[in-house]
Chain A
Amino acid sequence: MNTAARPGPPLWLLAELTYRCPLHCVFCYNPVDFARQEDEISTDDWLRVLREGRAMGAVQLGLSGGEPLLRDDLEIIVAEARRLGFYSNLLTSGVGLTEERAAALKAAGLDHVQLSFQDSTREMNDFLSHTKTFSLKNKVARIIKDQGWPMVMNVVIHRLNIDHIDRIIGMAHEMGAEYLELANTQYYSWAFLNRSQLLPTHEQLKKAEAVTDAWRAKLGEVMRIFFVAPDYHEGKAKKCVNGWGSMFMTIAPDGAALPCHTARMLPGLSFPNVREMSLRDIWFDSEGFNRYRGTGWMKEPCSTCVHKEEDLGGCRCQAYMLAHDAAAADPVCRLSPQHHLVQAAVAEAALSATTPKVAEHPLLFRDPVNSRRLTEPVR
């Protein structure tokens, strides 16, 4: 029996300020039932969360959503984060980041901005050529640079845009990004619903990696490019959020504290709310944070696997979604008894990418109408 040692502090706090969002991205990892979760904690609740987190040693703060700019108390939250000594990061689509708002956030002490490239339209095939999106991002990128913030650009990669990766990298470079994150879609929530259209083929991935390497060689240190490989294709599980309850804590818009931003999908597991419990008690003593800490909860093949400390069994949500058991090995691992399900999904992607379709199953956009249509009311 492996008993997990007392964990260190939650170094990384992700504040999902709201699920409201002007965009309708098909790869969004917000819960599919987000439209049924309209409750948002108050400014004072957020300020208390920051103070409690910082007192425990939290140091990185992500301000995310939905679109965090839709909270009009964002400047107040940023100012308190700065006062407390957090390094704060705004994760935004850029929609709503005017020059005035940027100046106010800078004055409040925001440390950096991660600008995401999403498609705000339904014209996925025009992902890059769509001038409205392109000019907005261009303008926002300039606003970010003018404030002197280091800029991280994030592009979620999938089958419909992966072949444009050369132009994506070129664009990020032209816009002056210091870091570019090419994040292959992770298949949760909306992305999971749309997986059959979004999963790239092996060939696409190989080509994209080669293009990325060529840009790296050309740009050197000018722009750092991170290529987040998709776990479906690798046959290897990743240490999810660097280990359940090991350094990462998400606070959902309604105040639920989660070990990762999708953990609420797991059945039979309750997560405390910051309105009812202190961050310290949540982190160290709640059942939700302790359930999958360390390796003591593991089953075969994980429990006797030589790699168990490296990957900690992979992602619990993926195990639940694919193997219907949150304590199973992550099926992306080639040692998982359910690995064939992942292989089948990749094979299906290869087939549907090359075969003309008769009846295409339509992409599901993340919007309130679909959210309500696809889900039951929250109990």
Chain B
Amino acid sequence: MSEATLASVPRVGAGFRLQFEPAQDCHVLLYPEGMVKLNQPAGEIMKRCDGARTIAAVVADLETAFSTTGLEADVLAFVAMAGQQRWLAWT
């Protein structure tokens, strides 16, 4: 998998499922034999990685939703880490 750029279109990796769990009040990532509890920023990023939006679009959407700017570096860093863990994949 190539390095993530603003033009990459990430989606949740094969074999993983992302869902919101009311009992834990957070998004979780489910995979064979395990579960990752995502903190709020991670959950907000992951749920926008739908295989349709570019990372640039994800960043723009987050900045609008949370009335802020300058999230680009944080989002790219998270996506790179999530790619290594196979939570996210892109072509």
Instruction: Give A residues with C-beta under 8 Å from B.
Output: 9, 11, 56-57, 59-60, 85, 87, 89, 111-112, 114, 148-150, 152, 178-179, 221
Contacts and interface: CB of A to CB of B under 8 A. Distances in A.
Contact of B21 (A57, A111, A148, A150): A57
A111 B15 CA distance: 7
A87 B30 contact: yes
Interface string B32-60: 11110000000000000000000000000
B21 to A, nearest CB: 6
A152 B23 contact: no
Contacts of A56: 23
Contact of A111 (B17, B22, B28, B86): B17
Contacts of A179: 32-33
Chain A contact residues, majority secondary structure: loop
Interface of B: 14-15, 17, 19, 21-24, 28, 30-35, 84, 86
B15 to A, nearest CB: 3
A57 B17 contact: no
Contacts of B86: 221
Nearest to A57: B23
B30 A59 contact: yes
A293 B28 CA distance: 26
Contact of A85 (B19, B33, B84): B19
B28 A150 contact: no
Contacts of B35: 11, 59-60, 87
Contacts, number: 45
Given A87-B30, A89-B32, A221-B86, 16 more contacts: A9-B24, A57-B21, A57-B22, A57-B24, A59-B30, A60-B35, A87-B35, A111-B32, A112-B32, A149-B15, A150-B14, A150-B15, A150-B31, A150-B32, A152-B32, A221-B84
A89 B15 contact: no
Contacts of B33: 60, 89, 114, 152, 179
| 9 shortest interchain CB distances as A-B pairs | A57-B23, A150-B15, A87-B30, A112-B32, A152-B32, A9-B23, A150-B32, A87-B17, A179-B32
11 contacts: A57-B22, A60-B30, A85-B19, A87-B31, A89-B32, A111-B30, A111-B32, A148-B14, A152-B32, A178-B15, A221-B86
Contacts of B32: 89, 111-112, 114, 150, 152, 178-179
A249 to B, nearest CB: 14
B48 to A, nearest CB: 20
Nearest to A114: B32
A56 B21 CA distance: 11
A148 B32 CA distance: 13
A176 to B, nearest CB: 13
A307 B86 CA distance: 34
Name, among A59, A87, A89, A178, the residue most crowded by chain B CB atoms within 10 Å (CB to CB): A87
A314 to B, nearest CB: 22
B3 to A, nearest CB: 16
Contacts of A89: 32-33
